[in-house]
Amino acid sequence: MKQQIIEASNYDPLLELAWRNFTLYDGHANRLQKGFNNLQVSILTIGIVASALAVSQTQFKEIQLTPTVSIVFHYILIVLPISISVLVAISNRFRSGTKWVLLRAAAEAIKSEIYQYRARSHIYRHKKDESIQSLREKFSSTLEYINNHLMKTDVAIHGFDNHDYTGAIPPEMYGAAGKDDGYSMLSADQYIKIRIGDQLNYYRGRVSKLHKQLKRLHWLILSIGGAGTFLAAAGLQIWIALTTSLGAVFLTFLEYRQVENTIIKYNQTVSELLNIYTWWESLTFRQRDGLAYDIVQCRKQVAKAQDFSDNLQYEYSNKLLERILIDIELNPELRCYRSKVYGLMGSNNFRLGDLQHARWRTELAIRDCESDGDDTGIGIYKENLQIISKKEVDVNTLTQSNS
Secondary structure element (H or E) that encloses residue 27, with its range: helix 13-59
In three-state secondary structure terms, 352 is coil
Do 196 and 273 touch, CB atoms closer than 8 A?
A: yes
Q: Considering all CA atoms of the chain, what is the largest pairwise distance in Å, rounded to the nearest integer?
A: 91
Predicted confidence (pLDDT) per residue in 369-400, tens digit:
888 787 878 888 888 888 888 888 877 777 77
CA angle 133, 105, 214 (to 5 degrees): 145
Q: How far apart are the first and last CA of the chain?
A: 80
Do 272 and 192 touch, CB atoms closer than 8 A?
A: no
Q: What is the identity of the amino acid at 401?
A: S
Q: Superfamily assignment of 308-402 in CATH? A: Tetratricopeptide repeat domain (1.25.40.10)
Higher pLDDT, 159 or 146: 146
Average pLDDT of span 290-312:
75
CA angle 39, 44, 46 (to 5 degrees): 95
Average pLDDT of span 100-128:
81
DSSP structural state of residue 171: P
Mean pLDDT of the chain: 80
DSSP structural state of residue 63: S
Q: What pLDDT, on the 0 to 100 scale, is given for residue 174?
A: 58
Higher pLDDT, 227 or 311: 227
Percent of the chain with pLDDT over 90: 1
Q: What pLDDT, on the 0 to 100 scale, is given for residue 115?
A: 86
Is pLDDT at 78 greater than 80 in this prediction? yes
If pLDDT is split at 50, 70 and 90, which confidence band does 401 have? low
Predicted confidence (pLDDT) per residue in 123-139, tens digit:
777 666 667 778 888 88
Is pLDDT at 40 greater than 80 in this prediction? yes
CB atoms within 10 A of CB 139: 21
In three-state secondary structure terms, 40 is helix
Closest CA to 312 of 362, 340, 347, 341: 347
Higher pLDDT, 41 or 292: 41
Higher pLDDT, 5 or 238: 238
Predicted confidence (pLDDT) per residue in 206-265, tens digit:
888 888 888 888 888 888 888 888 878 887 777 777 787 788 777 777 777 777 878 887
CA dist 259 and 251 (Å) reads 11
Average pLDDT of span 27-52:
85
Do 226 and 271 touch, CB atoms closer than 8 A?
A: no
Q: What pLDDT, on the 0 to 100 scale, is given for residue 293?
A: 60
Q: Helix, strand, coil proportions of the chain in percent (round to 5)?
A: 85, 0, 15
Distances (CA, A) of 196 to 21, 104, 185, 288, 382: 22, 19, 17, 15, 31
Q: What pLDDT, on the 0 to 100 scale, is given for residue 2?
A: 42
CB atoms within 10 A of CB 201: 16
Closest CA to 371 of 342, 331, 330, 347: 342
Q: Under 8 Å CB-to-CB from 47, ≥6 apart: which residues?
A: 84, 245, 249
Distances (CA, A) of 149 to 145, 158, 313, 315: 6, 14, 18, 19
If pLDDT is split at 50, 70 and 90, which confidence band does 403 have? low
DSSP 91-131: HHHH-HHHHHHHHHHHHHHHHHHHHHHHHT-GGG---TT--
CA dist 169 and 13 (Å) reads 11
Do 333 and 294 touch, CB atoms closer than 8 A?
A: yes
CB atoms within 10 A of CB 177: 22
Average pLDDT of span 281-304:
70
Predicted confidence (pLDDT) per residue in 168-219, tens digit:
777 776 555 556 788 888 877 787 778 777 788 888 888 888 888 888 888 8
